[in-house]
Structure 1
Amino acid sequence: MQLSKNNLQEKLDQIYDVILIGGGAGGLSAGIYLQRYRLSSLIIDKGKARSFWMQELHNYLGLPPDTPGRVLLQRGKEHYASLDGDFLNGFVEEVVDEGETFAVKVKVGRQNSIEAVFRAKYLMAASGIIDYLPPLDDMGNVYDYAGYNLHVCMVCDGYEMTDKKCGFFAGSEAAIEEMVFNLSWFTPYITIFTHGVFTVSESLKTKLREHGYPLIETPIQQFLGKNHQMTGVELTDGTIIELETGLISMGSRYHNTYLKGINLELQGNNLVTDKMCRTSHPKIFAIGDLKLGLNQVIIAAGDGALAATAIWREIRRETGARPWVENLPNSAIKC
């Protein structure tokens, strides 16, 4: 059921088996499994999952390589709806652990918004991360190419950059150290851009020179290209540098602030989980980009299946086997 400001009141007294925060590939996969396990679930989604603006999913098994991420999400949402799962577009502000249940506080509606509280026995965090993009005056110019041949994930898209002139757009010196020399596995034709937002040490500059990688510290004025294919950048001094592809590594924000009131084990910014995606809290699961592991759409979908199955097994054990009442001794059978 699609919930909105007009009909959510009828669900406020319900205690769901699971509330899932995030309606990307991981959240939808988990929701589908939960509904197939005959459990009750609510997905709360803020919109624009990371995979939404991926223009081509080249590495998702069984899909045509030019399938846009939004198509995958739409099909997943339709599948979930066909299984009678509840879905709400809203922003989760806070989660409170009440002991037997979690209270999930949600803001619904961008204008004239209202607040609502939903409750569940289990919680699944599937809200992912938000990538930082090069901060230009005209951010529309960035979105013209982001998700096309301007990539944010080397593991996902390194193959697409093979032997191409690649611009590496870094947010820190650490990003250069961590990523550039790995990126060279796919292409050695790498130009590093700092956009003038941080200083590169002399030792790293020397290392880059030794590998023949140009370092550009002048800020970027705009990206160049047409039909969503980036062909280079223009710097603020008017210099034009030709490129064929790009990789952005300017950091990201983990969308998990709603969990700040719950003491969960972290490694860096990632939630630590077991092999079934359970966090250090026995009734909170984390899937996809929030947990340790690869940031891949197909991994998130697999995580959703694992976490949903772990919850079902636990509830099944607590509930016990359903008896065939009519076959029990002394059963009153009505003819």
Structure 2
Amino acid sequence: MDNAGTNDRYDVVVVGGGAAGLGGALSLSRARRSVLVIDSGTQRNAPAAHMHNYLGREGAAPAQLIRIGRGEVAAYGTEFLDGEVVDARPAEGGFTVTLGDGRSVSARQILVTSGLVDELPDVPGLRERWGRDVLHCPYCHGWEVRDTAIGVLATSTVAVHQALMWRQWSDDVVVFAHTAPAFAADDLEKFAAMGIEVVDGAVAGLEVADDRLTGVRLATGETVAREALVVPPRFTARAGFLAGLGLDPVQQEMGGEVIGNHIAAGPTGATDVAGVWAAGNVTDPRAQVISAASAGVFVGSMINSALIEEDVAAAVADRRASRVG
């Protein structure tokens, strides 16, 4: 849906039309703000057939949420452009946002909800099965693979946390040591206590039959039967277009390990650049769909509050000027 009119200046341009972006647009458009959502159609959870832990939408398809959300937001006057933002720059009274096809629009404020990219380890077959039986978040997919044979691909010591967490959903969990450093003795003791086996050696690929994961193939040629494989992605913020504003991603750490990057934002969603705000996975890689939507709604209200302050200050200045005249 591309319903942008002739307006080339908006109160807020929202970059990213996923749950966070639509949540922000809903909050802002209901506050009678002029809003444009620019969406590249590359939502992070698009490969998944269903989304979970979204109260009232449990088990719905991600595309269904986007379709319904767009319709709801459009009903309040929000406009949409389908395309990719490649640049954002300061301009008089706000910002200029440029798309890849050369179009540009102006905004008083920008809400960045462009999400992130899950960069997977270099193992053949992972990307094709991502979000199906190659998984990451147990709260998103654990119930669906409960009591099955689960593997954890270790690329760092974060695998310890992952394996112990996924053990909650199945008593058949195997850790593939792969490229992770040697596990500490106390971690191995935890594995042993929880019945988690460690398989040494690099993983070379996956075995698939009838469009289902059946095993993990080692570099030695041995195959370990598995029905699901937990893979730790690197979380990379979709934020290259912010470089012109001086906003660069910062490292995201977990347990002392760098697991990706994100755009830093405060509790209100404000970034280090006045007038630029962020919500959802671009600033919080751990956010699930429902929390991303909630964050978008909240940050939208914070943006409206900031715009009210601007409007009032301008009205006071005009009033003073008219009295002097």
TM-score (norm 2): 0.80
Q: Please point out which of 86, 90, 95 is paired with 1:93.
A: 86
Partner of 1:18: 12
Shift of 1:19: 0.8
Q: Is 1:280 equivalent to 2:272 in the alignment?
A: yes
**Could you say what secondary structure the match of 1:217 adopts?**
coil
TM-score (norm 1): 0.78
Shift of 1:104: 1.3
Shift of 1:53: 2.0
Partner of 2:2: 2
Q: Is 1:81 equivalent to 2:74 in the alignment?
A: yes
Shift of 1:64: 4.1
Unpaired segments ≥5 residues, structure 2: 253-260, 313-325
For the residues of structure 2 that align with 1:285 and 1:58, how far apart are their CA atoms?
Answer: 27
Shift of 1:115: 1.3
Give the AA of the match of 1:243: R
Q: Deviations over 1:44-92 (max 9, x none)?
A: 1122201222211221101242x11111111112222333322122222
Shift of 1:220: 2.8
For the residues of structure 2 that align with 1:189 and 1:243, how far apart are their CA atoms?
Answer: 9
Change (3 A) 1:27 1:206: closer
Shift of 1:258: 1.4
8 Å contact kept, 1:96–1:261: yes
Q: Kindly report which structure 2 residues correspond to 1:1-335, keeping only aligned pairs within 5 A, or say none.
A: 2=2, 10-11=6-7, 14-65=8-59, 67-98=60-91, 100-107=93-100, 114-137=101-124, 139=125, 142-143=127-128, 145-170=129-154, 172-193=155-176, 198=179, 200-201=181-182, 203=184, 207=188, 210=192, 212-227=196-211, 229-264=212-247, 266=250, 268=252, 269-292=261-284, 294-320=286-312
For the residues of structure 1 that align with 2:121 and 2:64, how far apart are their CA atoms?
Answer: 26
Shift of 1:299: 0.5
Change (3 A) 1:99 1:174: farther
Q: Alignment identity in percent?
A: 23
Shift of 1:124: 0.8
Shift of 1:178: 4.2
**Could you say what secondary structure the match of 1:214 adopts?**
strand
**Could you say what secondary structure the match of 2:22 adopts?**
helix
Change (3 A) 1:302 1:206: closer
For the residues of structure 2 that align with 1:255 and 1:83, how far apart are their CA atoms?
Answer: 27
Q: Deviations over 1:179-217 (max 9, x none)?
A: 3333334334322335x5x35336479827745422242
Q: CA RMSD in A?
A: 2.9
Change (3 A) 1:199 1:34: closer
Q: Deviations over 1:127-146 (max 9, x none)?
A: 11111235355x5x742x32
Change (3 A) 1:224 1:235: farther
Shift of 1:286: 0.7
Give the AA of the match of 2:241: Y
Give the AA of the match of 1:44: I
For the residues of structure 2 that align with 1:316 and 1:206, how far apart are their CA atoms?
Answer: 53
Q: Deviations over 1:4-26 (max 9, x none)?
A: xxx87x44xx2111111111111
For the residues of structure 2 that align with 1:173 and 1:23, how far apart are their CA atoms?
Answer: 33
8 Å contact kept, 1:52–1:73: no
Q: Deviations over 1:198-242 (max 9, x none)?
A: 353364798277454222423333332435x43323445443221
Give the AA of the match of 1:250: P
Give the AA of the match of 1:122: Q
